[in-house]
Structure 1
Amino acid sequence: MGEIARARRLCWWMLTSFLGLLWGGIALSALAETGRGALPWPLPVASVAVAAVFTALYPRLVNAVIESRYPVRFIAATGVLAVMAAATGGAQPFGAGLALVAWLAVVAVGVPRRRAFALSAGTTLLGVALSVAAAASGWWHLLDMPDARGPGWLGTVAVANTFMYALMCLASVVSNRLWMWIYQLAVRAHEGREAHARLAVAEERLRFARDLHDLVGHRLSAIAVKTALAVRLSDGDPGAAREEMTSVHGLTRTALRELREAVRGYRQLDLGAELSSVRGVLEAAGVRCELRLPYREMPEEVAPVFAYAVREAVTNVLKHSAATFCAITLSFTAERAELEVRNDGAAARDPAGERDGDRGTGLEGMRERLAAVGGDVTVRHGTDGHFIVKAVVSLPIPG
């Protein structure tokens, strides 16, 4: 499961968690009222039945909001079910009235802030009205104690329920909007990474096309001109035509050599360009990048291999960690060259597992490339909690 799928699943569970509160409240309320023998049975049975239908439709409502859809008719239908469940269950704030809060907790996510708080205020007033009506009708006996029904007792119920409904509605709206905001940030960050990767590929293709045009285009134009001249000279001056064709032959060999060099240079990564590229990608993803480079150029025989290793290590940082910092260190002596990529966001896993089992991270390919030049890669967790990938190559490279 990808990172975005996991984030969506977590957001979905958080938004649907209010169903657990609803059924817990219904169960406690039913036990309390049934124990007193106060509430007629048809009403709680109807409340549970309506709440069951509301629960069956609730996941569809959550999915619609997460997908940034706002089906007005469906939202209205589930709202009616929430009102029916609350009304037939006495509309207690910690009982059947939680159906109203559960409905609000989802529908207020996909609307502007002012509308969300307007919905919260409306839900609070509706819940208070239903609970007061239930208390006045004798449906709700939470205050059915000696001397509880004194002067102004309905006012006390209204004030208490207003406070509880307002608190629950506000908390549910704020928490769910926060979870949705975090999920949307994760989606945008993922899309930003993909867009940056596509841009990098497009820029590389453009560079290759420009190199081919600059290196080979001039030679091919000269070949075309000289070939046309040789054709014109072939009847009147065969010797001159032969000289032109000899020149064409030389230009052709030169163009072929330059083309091979261009392709070889394209396939062989440039360490300096790769370091600049990965630094830009990391910083675009919100990861602070620090380059620690030697004052001299890396040996030519090891630079392309280290360029590939840098690319793979940074790809792992972006795909498999939550890093906020990444340090890339290069150093070399007459006997050995070293590359170290250190980040602070890797999950605690066994380095041996990285070595033996996780081929999807590209570490195996990195080891194969380093092994081809007599090098090695080690992966470990540092004592400071950092995740470290280190590549070492002995110099000079044989062959």
Structure 2
Amino acid sequence: MTTTRPGGYASGLLGSGLVRLTGLTTHVRRSHAEPAEPAGSAVTTERLRFARDLHDLLGYSLSTIILKCELANRLAPRDPLRAQRELAEVLRTGRQALADVRTVARGYRRMSLADEAESARATLTAARVRAAVRVGARPLPPEVDTVLATVLREGLTNMLRHSKAANCVITTTRTGDTVRLRLVNDGATQQPGPADPEGGLDNLTSRVTRLGGTLDAHHEGEWFHLTAELPLTRAGTSGKRRARRRAEPVQPAVTAERLRFARDLDERLGRGLSLIVRRCERVHGLVPRDAARAQREIADILRISRRTLAEVRAVARDYREAGAPRGAEC
């Protein structure tokens, strides 16, 4: 009878998923030379949207999972109850990321600024950043809600990656038919600006301006300010106008690209997230009984999460390159 090392099957499953994910990257590169205008232009637009969705959704979630796993790994020997709480947050984040993957795969992703604000509060607390979160409860048009939630996610991701923040303030205000989201943090001497493609803020600028809004990112000393301002009156009509402008002949090519992306997203990246969630469920109950083994399991989850995050960024980059005009710099 063959004995399987704990975690061996799961690691093999992850390896299989990542091999298939590499296949998606190869497919994207090969498809760079696909259909001529106008269908080619529409497919290019879809690929760029896929890149943004991968970066905005999974980049944030996996960064949060890594942060909390690192904290749980340090806490396990001396404070197992708190380590369990951090792992519970990892589970919540992982399950939400899985839901996001499946929603994006269906093509109807909607995000809530209020939900993101609560998630931000928990993440900042775990990172030992003093947080003041004041986000209004009044409902927003779906397009505005999704874009502002995305701005908040990306702003927090950049803050955690590029600053040594001790304080963060997140607020929303309404003035007439305008809503404004502000994220301000200290310790931001290395924060990237909106034109830095590695920071992702250029993607946010594109999303905000499509709805007739503005995005501003600047430093004031060691403080970094990110402000998104959107009109409420135009929301809900821009998407309909864009849909009317689409010509029927391009739809089969766009639909095929969406179906291919949906399948690959759910089967490959969804599989990696499922593995992370299952491993966290197992180690959550292990922490009080066997801290040393729990640390080994958490270290394995960290390895999986970092590898999956690297793959997400690589695939997003390849979608951007596949969608870029020929001769353009990426």
TM-score normalised by L of structure 2: 0.41
Larger Rg: 1
Higher RCO (CA 8 Å, separation ≥ 6 residues): 2
